[in-house]
Amino acid sequence: DAGVIQSPRHEVTEMGQEVTLRCKPISGHDYLFWYRQTMMRGLELLIYFNNNVPIDDSGMPEDRFSAKMPNASFSTLKIQPSEPRDSAVYFCASSIDRGGSGANVLTFGAGSRLTVL
Amino acid sequence: SQKIEQNSEALNIQEGKTATLTCNYTNYSPAYLQWYRQDPGRGPVFLLLIRENEKEKRKERLKVTFDTTLKQSLFHITASQPADSATYLCALGDTGNQFYFGTGTSLTVIP
């Protein structure tokens, strides 16, 4: 398996533009997570899905952020309009429900580094 | 809301020594605690998981402790090597599905 695949790896855009980040989880994984990482705040959970359904989006900073998972192999995180304070590395992670055997282990993608000028 | 704190400063140790990293938390009662390693330009990679009813977990040169009374986890790397240099993150969760991360500790092992 190629692991969790994110694109683009790097994105530089101007304030006010729309940004779309993409993620392909590991095949068979039923959980998908979007995190944002900055030096100041570390890794913040934005939203997560279970079987393509959003379960908790309380970490989404504001209405400018939206996430979708139209099928089990694809998810997007959209920022519209983007602002300089959105500059960060955005990670997608997936996991498989281990049921009664314990907690999920996250497999992360390589991240998308976003710079908003 | 929960607060997770790791060693605020970078940790530098000599090769062969034991590195000890700290993860403290407040306003939370996690059932699970995980440790991840992150190299520059890459996503975090899972290392170890420990449950609230487990005091200690080992994997090769790694050891994790979990003290729910102190609200603290310690992460030890014995016989440290330069290849262990990375940022180490702790992550806490209560349901096993949703995890919150600390800001990480940067470890440098000096040859």
Note the pLDDT tens digit of each residue in A50-72. 999 999 999 998 899 999 999 99
Mean pLDDT per 10-residue interval, chain B, length 111 residues = 81 96 89 93 94 91 94 96 97 81 94 94
Q: Is B51 part of the contact surface with chain A (CB cutoff 8 Å)?
A: yes
Q: Which value, in Å, is the radius of gyration of the alpha carbons in chain B?
A: 13
Tell me how far apart the alpha carbons of residues B75 and B65 are, in angstroms, rounded to a whole number: 7
pLDDT at site B97: 73
What value does the mean pLDDT take over residues A17-40?
95
Q: Which of A24, A43, A29 is nearest to B103 (CA)?
A: A43
In a 3-state reduction of DSSP, which class is residue A100? helix
The one-letter amino acid code at B103 reads T
Report the pLDDT value the prediction gives residue A101, as an integer from 0 to 100.
Answer: 55
- How far, in Å, CA of A46 to CA of A114, rounded? 15
* B59 touches A at CB < 8 Å: no
Q: Of all residues in chain B, what percent carry a pLDDT higher than 70?
A: 98
Per cent of chain A over pLDDT 70 is: 95
CB-based contact (8 Å) between A99 and chain B? Answer: no
CB contacts < 8 A (A, B): 67
Query: What span, in angstroms and rounded, lies between the C-alpha atoms of A68 and A49?
Result: 9
Contact B93 A103 (CB under 8 A): yes
| DSSP result, B33-95 | EEEEEE-TTS--EEEEEEETT-SEEEETTEEEEEETTTTEEEEEESS--GGG-EEEEEEEESS
Closest A-chain CA to B97: A104
Rounded-to-integer distance, Cα B4 and Cα B38, Å? 17
